[in-house]
Chains A and B, each alone.
Chain A
Amino acid sequence: MREVRFHRELYRGEHVDQAIKVYDRFARIERAEEDAHWVVRLDGKSPERERKIADELANYALGLTIQQRGGI
């Protein structure tokens, strides 16, 4: 199980959800909410695979967030 924490002031919830939709065919993914973070938990076939998917998911969510803000 691997956990990625997305700060709610830096990532929008819908972008994290969109990223989860893209990667949920590669691992079992759950999303939880905490006061300051969206918490994404991944369960994959191996720790290496979990890490790879978590990293790609985080990049995807960041890319969506930045593009949506018109920051580029």
Chain B
Amino acid sequence: MSTPESLPEPLFPDTLARVDLGEGRATIDLDAGLYPLEAVYGAAYVFIDRCYVLLDRPEPTKLRVLLSPKRPDADVAAQLRDMVGELANELLSAAWRHQITQENRARIEAVTLSAISGAMGPPSLDDLESFDFTEEAFEDPLGIAMSWEEKYAKKKSDAGEGAGKPEEGT
């Protein structure tokens, strides 16, 4: 086994990424606090068709990704360098997607639940009987929402007043 070397024209410090040209392998160390495990799995999966990928946890706070190309180029060093850069980008993207998913989990679950309950068909009479209609349907901070009865109540009373008046010209 050859001695690990820093990347040619290093993208990252040696403490984060290094290559072993003899083994044709790049090693990337990650802070587990910055990159959640799900993001690391997601990024690793993207590379699984063109690289051999092995994950490890050298320390409780660190994750390690070992990448080696399935079809090494003539310039393995450059190939590994590119792969390390691509993995770093993919990790960032996966971590961001993971964060968005976590933040929107409640909303996604609510939408999914309502879609599924809608697909189950109309509510039964028993469901309607137990439904709480007193609850506010949605927030209306500007007070522009009103029911049909509220909207046309005045016109109805106007119509009531004018009903007894004979129309002019008849």
Task: Give chain A residues whose Cβ lies under 8 Å from the Cβ of B45.
Answer: 62-63, 66, 71-72
When the two chains form their complex, are residues B57 and A72 in contact, meaning their CB atoms are under 8 A apart? no
A56: nearest chain-B partner, CB-CB? B52
When the two chains form their complex, are residues A59 and B52 in contact, meaning their CB atoms are under 8 A apart? yes
Interface size on B, residues (CB 8 A): 15
User: CB within 8 A of A62: which of B37, B38, B44?
Assistant: B44
Task: Give chain B residues whose Cβ lies under 8 Å from the Cβ of A63.
Answer: 45, 48
Minimum CB–CB distance for B20 against chain A, Å: 13
When the two chains form their complex, are residues A62 and B42 in contact, meaning their CB atoms are under 8 A apart? no
Q: A65-B41, A69-B41, A71-B42 are in contact. Are A9 and B48 (CB under 8 A)?
A: no
Q: A71-B38, A72-B42 are in contact. Are A59 and B55 (CB under 8 A)?
A: no
Task: Give chain B residues whose Cβ lies under 8 Å from the Cβ of A58.
Answer: 52-54
Does B56 belong to the interface (CB within 8 Å)? yes
Within 8 A of A (CB), among B54-91: 54-57, 63, 68
Does A22 belong to the interface (CB within 8 Å)? no
B37: nearest chain-A partner, CB-CB? A10
User: CB within 8 A of A9: which of B41, B54, B57?
Assistant: B57
Q: In which size bucket is the chain A interface?
A: 10 to 19
Within 8 A of B (CB), among A9-68: 9-11, 36, 55-56, 58-59, 62-63, 65-66
Q: A55-B68, A62-B44, A65-B41 are in contact. Are A10 and B52 (CB under 8 A)?
A: no
Task: Give chain A residues whose Cβ lies under 8 Å from the Cβ of B68.
Answer: 55
Chain A residues with CB under 8 Å of chain B are 4-5, 7, 9-11, 36, 55-56, 58-59, 62-63, 65-66, 69, 71-72
9 sampled A-B residue pairs with Cβ under 8 A = A7-B57, A9-B57, A56-B52, A58-B52, A59-B52, A62-B44, A62-B55, A69-B41, A72-B42
Chain B residues with CB under 8 Å of chain A are 37-38, 41-42, 44-45, 48, 52-57, 63, 68
